[in-house]
Amino acid sequence: MTRSEVIKDLKKRFDEDILDIFDKTLTRVYIEIKPQAIVKVATYVFKNLGARFNIASGVDTFKHIEILYHFTFEDINLVVSFRVKLDKSKLEIDSLAPIFEGANWIEREIAEMLGVNFRGHPELKRLLLPDEWPQGVYPLRRDYQEWDDSSIRDRGL
């Protein structure tokens, strides 16, 4: 499968789910999809097209929380990033961890760093932050406030 065939195939198969396609360079494509379609798209890309899941990266863009799911097509040197925009009032999306293990840790990370709830994740517990970190404080949000007065930076060290 060539690069244009992959894009055409995705366009045809998920026509009503795709909101926008941004063809950046020869090796990068960004596709914005509806949040409820992510399981369908990821399953097809991972199982049928044999792409490898690199990682997901979450971004706080003030209005939304964006999650980019990066998939690499090894044979044709193409990175396809599926972008979903989640409304800040209802931060929920279906989990990819039941489909493939590789999504397990990164979803836990995004959940604690940006406060996104992944529905159907097998063990959505804390991965990186310490146990005494308060509930509902998300360090990678734009409106994050320092909550710990005794942290090293505040002591002037």
Partner 1 sequence: MGKRTIVPIGPYHPLQEEPEFFSLTVDGETVVDIDVQIGYNHRGIEKLSERKTFDQSTFVIERICGICSTSHPYAYTRAVEDVIPLEVPMRAKYIRTIIAEGERIHSHLLWLGLAGHFLGYNTVYMWAWKLREEILDVMEALSGNRNNYAMFKPGGVRRDIKKEDIPFAIKKIDSIIPTLEMLKKAVIDDPVLHARTKGIGILTKDEAINFCALGPVSRASGVARDLRKNSPYGAYDQFNWNMIVTKNGDVFDKAVVRILETFESIDMVKYCLLNLPDTEIDAKIKSIPSGEGIGHIEAPRGECFHYVKSDGTNRPARHKVRAPTFMNLPTYKATVVGETISDATIILASIDPCYCCTERVAVRNTKGKKIYNGEDLVRLSQSKTEKIKSKLGIK
- From the list 147, 107, 106, the residue with the least C-alpha distance to 130 is 147
Q: Which of 42, 65, 106, 111 binds partner 1 (CB under 8 A)?
A: 106
Question: Which residue, 54 or 117, has its beta carbon nearer to partner 1?
Answer: 54
Question: Which residue, 36 or 75, has its beta carbon nearer to partner 1?
Answer: 75
What sign does the CA torsion over 18, 22, 43, 48 have? positive
Residues between 69 and 98 with contacts to partner 1, criterion CB under 8 A: 70, 72, 74-75, 77, 79, 81
| Per CB under 8 A, 30 contacts partner 1 | yes
Q: How far apart are CA 43 and CA 8, in angstroms?
A: 17
Instruction: State the nearest-atom distance from the C-beta of 16 to partner 1, in Å.
Output: 25
Residues between 32 and 71 with contacts to partner 1, criterion CB under 8 A: 52-55, 57-60, 68, 70
Q: Are 99 and 74 in contact (CB under 8 A)?
A: no
| Per CB under 8 A, 156 contacts partner 1 | no
Q: Count CB-CB contacts under 10 A for residue 135.
A: 5
Residues between 119 and 148 with contacts to partner 1, criterion CB under 8 A: 126-130, 139-140
Q: How far apart are CA 71 and CA 61, in angstroms?
A: 22
What string marks each residue from 2 to 21 as x (binds partner 1 by CB under 8 A) or -? --------------------
With the CA atoms of 42, 46, 48 and 51 taken in that order, what torsion angle do they form, in degrees rounded to the nearest 10?
Answer: 120
Please name every residue paired with 58 in a beta bridge, in sequence order, or none if there are none. 67
**Tokens for 61?**
């863009």
**What is the contact surface with partner 1 in residues (CB under 8 A)?**
24-25, 27-28, 30, 52-55, 57-60, 68, 70, 72, 74-75, 77, 79, 81, 100-106, 126-130, 139-140
